[in-house]
Amino acid sequence: MTAPANPPVIIGVDGGPSAADALALGRWAARTLGTPLVVAVVHPAPSAIGSGRVDAEWVADRHRAAEAVLDQARAALAGDPAEVTYRVVASSSAAHGLHDLAEELAAEAIVVGSGWAGPQRRLFAGSTAERLLAGSVCPVAVAPAGMETPPGTVGRIGVAYVDTPDGRAALTMAARMAERTGGPLRLYTVVSEADAPLPFLVGRDAEHAFLETARETYELSLRRAAESVGACDADWVILTGDVVEALAEVTEVDLLFCGSRGYGPARRVLLGGVSSRLVRRARRPVVVVPRSG
């Protein structure tokens, strides 16, 4: 199959409980970006070494299970006016299959649920969402389980911002989405609490002074970044506390964009080391932007 004229949004589903959230997020993203939609199920490819007949029967059973999952997706999207294509992909892993499909179609984004791979129709073990975060050729959007507020309801796009190549890449993509929605953009940076554990051999007064300086530096960085996205209204917020906890509790956005790596004050990891934890705990959908450079 040749790539569509317009890069699609790919939704990965497997019949688990998070499929509805992924479908809702992917459908909204495709409508907002004006792109076609591809719904995909990945099932195990035939093993190179095996018992022949037994392996073939098992793979055929997995293929039938994948087709059943697509039937569920078709029912969920019935009546949707958007252009939707349904694909069954054979691969060694769900993440690998979605990566290959995204590369083949030059996809805008891959959308999955945070609990991708449900217990009743599990085609692969492990967390596909987390594995997708490593090496994806396009942004990966993860819908939180049991998403209470449908995407598009809030009317604001968020971005976890640090002044690094990855942070700027996330800002660019977040600003583009805000432009498409017509809503405002909000930038977030997280700094540590004053009573957070201190670095080894650093006194409390020195730590407080450092954090205050860091806050002033980040305020300037956020102000400049917000002013740089002139195509949409933008403001900024500095959150205090644990990075994952603070970002996970952000609820006033439809999407929260973040880079795949970055560092906060005192070289505390902001995104790279915690993005997998963030997508498991965030209350709103998170979009992890591929590493720049």
What is the per-residue burial (b if ≥16 Cβ within 10 Å, else e) of 47-74?
Answer: eeeeeeeeeeeebeebbebbeebbebbe
In this predicted structure, the answer to whether residue 74 has a pLDDT above a threshold of 70 is yes
Residue that wins the pLDDT comparison between 203 and 65 = 65
- Which DSSP category does 145 fall into? T
User: Structural domain of residue 84, as residue ranges?
Assistant: 9-143
CATH at residue 274: 3.40.50.620
The predicted structure's pLDDT at residue 210: 58
The per-residue pLDDT for 203 is: 47
As a whole number of angstroms, the distance between CA 151 and CA 174 comes to 15
Q: Between 276 and 232, where is the model more confident? A: 232
- Rounded Cα distance, 264 and 77, in Å: 41
Please check whether residues 161 and 260 belong to one and the same domain.
yes
pLDDT given at position 70? 93
In this structure, are 72 and 189 located in the same domain? no
Residue 198: the pLDDT is 47
Q: What is the pTM of this model?
A: 0.83
**Helix, strand or coil, per DSSP, at residue 129:** helix
Mean pLDDT taken over the chain: 80
274 and 161 both lie in a single domain: yes
Q: Is residue 3 part of a domain?
A: no
Asked, for residue 152, whether it belongs to a domain, the answer is no
CA distance 88 to 7: 18
Euclidean distance between CA atoms 67 and 244, whole angstroms: 37
Which residues, other chains included, contact 47 with Cβ-Cβ below 8 Å and sequence gap of 6+? 55
**Higher local confidence (pLDDT), 144 or 230:** 144
State whether 173 and 115 are in the same domain.
Answer: no
Q: Are residues 283 and 161 in the same domain?
A: yes
Clarify whether residues 239 and 277 are in a common domain.
Answer: yes
User: Do 36 and 67 belong to one domain?
Assistant: yes
pLDDT at 16: 79
Strands 140-143 and 109-113, by their bridges, are: parallel
* 149 in any annotated domain: no
| pLDDT at position 195 | 44
Confidence class for position 201, pLDDT limits 50, 70, 90: very low
User: Which helix or strand (DSSP H or E) is residue 105 part of?
Assistant: helix 94-105
Which tops the pLDDT comparison, 205 or 214? 214
Rounded to an integer, the average pLDDT of 58-77 is 88
Res 44: pLDDT:
79
Lowest mean pLDDT among 7-21, 220-234, 249-263: 249-263
Instruction: State how far the Cα of 183 lies from the Cα of 175, in Å rounded to an integer.
Output: 10
The pLDDT tens digits for 93-134 are 888 899 999 999 999 999 998 764 443 333 343 467 777 777
Residue 148 lies in a domain: no
Domains held by the chain: number: 2
Q: Is the pLDDT of residue 204 over 90?
A: no
In a domain, 67, yes or no: yes
| Predicted confidence band of residue 200 (pLDDT cuts 50, 70, 90) | very low
**How many CA atoms within 13 Å lie on the side-chain side of 94?**
27
The residue that leads in pLDDT, 125 or 156, is 156
End-of-domain residue from the set 90, 113, 143: 143
- Same domain (yes/no): 173, 230: yes
Examine the domain organization and report whether 187 and 263 are in the same domain.
yes
> What separation in angstroms does the CA of 142 have from each of 24, 107, 135, 175, 207?
11, 15, 15, 19, 35
Give the pLDDT of residue 287.
93
Tokens of 281: 């705990």
**CA 265/CA 245 separation, integer angstroms:** 16
Share of the chain above pLDDT 70, in %: 76
* C-alpha span between 151 and 170 (Å, rounded): 19
pLDDT digits (tens, 9 = 90+) for 172-194: 999 999 999 999 999 999 887 65
Task: Identify the pLDDT of residue 289.
Answer: 86
Domain boundary among 143, 177, 209: 143
pLDDT band at 272 (very low <50, low <70, confident <90, very high): low
**Which DSSP string do the residues of 28-40 spell out, in sequence order?**
HHHHHHT--EEEE
20 and 127 in a single domain? The answer is yes
Could you tell me the pLDDT band of residue 34, with boundaries at 50, 70 and 90? very high
